Structure 1
Amino acid sequence: MAQKRVEHGPMVNGRQQDGRTDRAAGLLSRLVSLARREAPKLVSFGLIGVLNGVVNYAVTVGVTLAVLAPLALAGNDLALGAAKALGWAVAVSNSYLLNTWFTFADESGRRFGWATYLRFVASGTAGLVVEVGSFLLAVRFLPLALAAIVPIGLAFLVNFAMTRLLVFPDRSRREP
């Protein structure tokens, strides 16, 4: 009895490949294209994030030293939490302004709005939840010094993705 050869895909290196290889290559190609297209925005978003890390630190430490310490509240957890929350709020607000004006200028039209601001704060809050949750998981398996770094990168990617997709979507790629 003769065996019939069934064609499922192209020949690569003398071996027949199935459609999964083509799909994987297509997905990889789309991901590389997306990364190239989004790289400048990712870098800008990251630089603004670093700047706002400094803003957060400066506001938190500044309020603690200039306001809480003279009032003998520098050891009060509630007061310190409020100082930290203020630092975060100022940094997130500054981040919204800078990302609207620079990183996502094309998408935002450099227009500020409460709805966009609230979506930005929500995406930042979700990133914070991812960072804290992944830190609590990572610290169980990694040394503290590494466990504290890994979640920052993960939260950065989540923040960028949410900001890009939900706060400042690319309207030029949508169908009319």
Structure 2
Amino acid sequence: MTFAPFFGVNHHEQSILLGAGLISSEGTETFTWLFQTWLQCMDGIAPKAIIIDQNRAMKNAIAIVFPETRHRLCLWHILKKVSEKLESYAAYRSGLKTQLMKCVYDTQTIEEFEKCWVGFINTYDLQENAWLKSLYAEHEHWVPTNLKEFVNQFDSALRKKIENENHAEF
């Protein structure tokens, strides 16, 4: 059986276990049931964001149960697959991996990322790599947030948190 934990972040910025489920299959129907059950336990309050691996069934269930929730792919899970998917290329050890990491970590805007990605694909002749094609097709779910967007989102989240705390204190 698959163990499906639900983690959150408390007011001390610490990860906390909110709940967990044991599921016998990893299909869209099962994840939909799991998320609906979890949503009931949370008094109908959907999470603001969900970070998952690249599980297609889970992605489908998130769209069904949490349509307003921001869905992101875990960059760690993605980058963990880099060697498995690309080490067969001769250039892997002589710059390919380094260039990919540069695109992911050293670009500050979507435009910079796009330019870097195209350069990476063209330099190493990776236009036909199915894994990179599928990864790029979902890049809006995993490309790191630029600093300005992060600061704005952080400021907004902090303001909302303070408002909620003040309301609860009252």
* Coarse TM-score class (shorter-chain normalised): under 0.3
The structure that is helix-richer by fraction is 1
The structure that is strand-richer by fraction is 2
Structure number with higher relative contact order (C-alpha < 8 Å, ≥ 6 residues apart): 1
The structure that has the greater radius of gyration is 1
TM-score, structure 1 length as denominator?
Answer: 0.24
TM-score, structure 2 length as denominator?
Answer: 0.24
